[in-house]
Amino acid sequence: VSRMGLLDSADLGVWSAALSNYGRALDAVAAKKQDPSKLLALDAWLSKGRSFGRPQGRLLDRAELLKVVEWKLSRGTFRPGLLQKAQSNSEAAVKDAYSKARDLLMGAPEYAERGAGPTPKAALDAAVQAVKVLEKGLFGIGPATATAVLSRGFPGHVAFMSDEAMLECRLFPRAADIKYTTKTFAQFNEVVQNKARALNALGGGVSWTGDDV
């Protein structure tokens, strides 16, 4: 399957193989960094430490927010000053913004990955509003970082806006053209959540989310 063809594939084996290759892809990205171990450690924490965010879980705290920001900066393009801006947020501000965003997602009629047909509009709208809450309520948190935070607890509502995924969705012709806006997120999230629902409709015993896609 070509780089531009994965999204078009309805082969569960192809998708499972692509997902299983994440570790190797991450190693390749980390090898290009000045400190590969930092990205690998942060990614392991983010992947396994989903104690915040779920409906039954506790609220995101400031220390966790900063680790997500560090992960994003380590994974992609480093932006001087962004971590310092995020560090200026108080503990109360982080928890308040996250609580409001989580309530929006929990109030959506159903998780986006469930059911047949397109993702319910109410679920997609709730995801956009939740991203806006974090973007507007916290310093140094743009739409992409907001999706990194929210996708941990709500991967069936919010998918992380990685450069690679947005290019695969053909929203932009090249990485330099990517616009990290809520409008872009709305377009991107609809594509990947709909794809997750299509994959789930095929069966196979694996529950796909937009963030998996």
Residues 27-57: pLDDT tens digits? Answer: 999 999 989 999 999 999 888 755 565 555 6
Query: For residue 201, is pLDDT > 70?
Result: yes
Compute the distance between CA of residue 132 and CA of residue 90 in angstroms, rounded to an integer.
18
Output the pLDDT for position 160. 95
Lowest mean pLDDT among 96-100, 102-106, 189-193, 199-203: 199-203
Q: Hey, which residues does 58 pair with through a beta bridge?
A: 52
Exposed, middle or buried by CB within 10 Å (0-12, 13-18, 19+), for 69? Answer: buried
Please state, in angstroms and rounded to a whole number, the distance separating the CA atoms of residues 82 and 35: 19
Whole-angstrom distance, CA of residue 213 vs CA of residue 203: 15
3-state secondary structure of 58: strand
Cα distance between residue 157 and residue 123, in whole Å? 7
Give the pLDDT score at 4: 47
Distance of CA 77 to the CA centre of its chain: 16
State the pLDDT confidence band at 204, using cuts at 50, 70 and 90: confident
pLDDT tops 80 at residue 1: no
Report helix, strand or coil for 52.
strand
Percent of the chain with pLDDT over 70: 90
Q: What is the pLDDT of residues 103-127, one digit of tens each?
A: 999 887 655 566 667 888 999 999 9
Query: Among 60-74, 103-117, 132-146, whose mean pLDDT is lowest?
Result: 103-117
